[in-house]
Amino acid sequence: MTDVRSPSAGHDDVFSKKIREQWTEQLGRKLDILVAGCGRASTSIFGDGNMDRFGSRVSGIDEDLPALRAYATKRDDLDSFTLGDLRNVPIPQRSYDVIFVDFLLDRIRNAELVLDRMAAGLRPGGLMLIRLRDRSSAYGFCDRMLPSWVRRMVWKGFVPAGTVGPLPAVYEPVSSREGINAYCLMRGLMIAEDYTRTSGPACRGPRAGLVETVCGMVGKLSGGRLPAGHDEIILVVRKPQSHFARLI
């Protein structure tokens, strides 16, 4: 597994560049793309939002929660979507060139099982583009330790207007740099690029200063084990072409 860590970056340019490269490698063949986490508001992985030039077929999956369904039904960038139990929703094996996992792993249970199903859905040489909230960051620690009733009570006062949520804060071990690296190593997946940045909704809301102060205190009290300098991890993961690699 290749682990390349680069300076902090946004996902837009990284992911759109990788999709363009994937499209070129396929000699212009239409790409089949799955957006896992389609019920959460997000910017386009195509950068400028123009999917027509790739002719991509884009489908989505997510949990069937009221807030997620309300947003997914309004999206006009998906050809189709399915909501339900992610352990059972249809993900045909070796059917996708790119799977975009958008802040999904930190809010679901059985995350590794769901990842296994998505990895099986990738064609050999396919890409899994992952954004996840790092459970080992100061922000992730506060988010997962805050009782659900408190999160519901303060949500609108801490996040930008219109933010979907609050969604579950599960944060299984795989929702961390160490966890996702171990997962990819065990499954024979290659991490090609690895970035960090700060993007938590409470860090962009009306009380961002307070959130930054609290995260800074958590980072110091933890002796640096819970860093305050980032809360998001951005990964480009490739499924090997080799027939001798472990097949999921």
User: Domains along the chain?
Assistant: 11-133+172-199+230-238 (3.40.50.150)
Whether residue 175 has pLDDT greater than 90: yes
**What's residue 228's pLDDT?**
96
Whether residue 115 has pLDDT greater than 50: yes
Q: Do residues 164 and 67 lie in contact, with contact meaning Cβ atoms separated by under 8 Å? A: yes
Which pTM was predicted?
0.89
**What's residue 25's pLDDT?**
84
Cα–Cα distance for residue pair 161/45, rounded to 1 Å: 22
Whether residue 111 has pLDDT greater than 90: yes
Residue 162, Cβ density class (10 Å: 0-12 exposed, 13-18 middle, ≥19 buried):
exposed
Whether residue 138 has pLDDT greater than 90: yes
**What's residue 15's pLDDT?**
86
Cα–Cα distance for residue pair 164/102, rounded to 1 Å: 13
Residue 26 in tokens: 């396929």
Cα–Cα distance for residue pair 21/152, rounded to 1 Å: 41
Cα–Cα distance for residue pair 152/102, rounded to 1 Å: 22
